[in-house]
Structure 1
């Protein structure tokens, strides 16, 4: 089992990044824009961060991120890209309508 041996002492946002200051002096930061819930937050909402032994929580934005995920580069769900019809895979079989599907 992996254990985080460092502890977050402070977390804040400068509007572009969330910055986590660890007890060891290491600073971890990630772009606010990489998380849709955070990207839509106000400065006040972004700076209301609760720190737990496991991660960060933004109560006003209903968002939680684990330290493990942050350190692995997972900053929450990315913004959805516009829906596009999937490209057909070469050689893929396309389902045909059965006799009950079309007349």
Structure 2
């Protein structure tokens, strides 16, 4: 897979997931819990996005939040604080 060719076309949300439709027709989804600023945003704020960096990133200007589509494909290790 050529990761440089991964470009977003559309963003949508469910209660728990952020979905990005790619320009090749694939759809990827990640948990909203990974993106606290998005999780706390209103639907109006969430829908006010634009693609940046040639379609490889997403910006929510009103939230001052940027997301790389490639980062959505990378696994994230959840760390747990033990008391």
Equivalent-residue separation in structure 1 for 2:10 and 2:40 (angstroms): 22
Partner of 2:9: 9
Is the 1:57–1:65 Cα contact (8 Å) retained in structure 2?
A: yes
- TM-score, structure 2 as length reference: 0.73
Is the 1:15–1:46 Cα contact (8 Å) retained in structure 2?
A: no
Indicate the structure (1 or 2) with the bigger Cα radius of gyration: 1
Structure 1 residues 71-90: aligned runs within 5 Å = 71-73=73-75
SS in 2 for 1:56: strand
**Structure with greater helix percent:** 2
Structure 1 residues 23-62: aligned runs within 5 Å = 23-52=23-52, 53=54, 54-62=56-64
* Aligned residues: CA RMSD: 2.4
- TM-score, structure 1 as length reference: 0.61
Partner of 1:21: 21
Unpaired runs of 5+ residues, structure 1, are: 86-103
Deviation per residue, 1:55-84 (Å, 9 max, x gap)? 11111211101122111135xxx8xx8x87
Runs of 4+ with deviation above 3 angstroms: none
Is the 1:11–1:51 Cα contact (8 Å) retained in structure 2?
A: no
**Structure with greater strand percent:** 2
Is the 1:15–1:43 Cα contact (8 Å) retained in structure 2?
A: no
Is the 2:12–2:20 Cα contact (8 Å) retained in structure 1?
A: yes
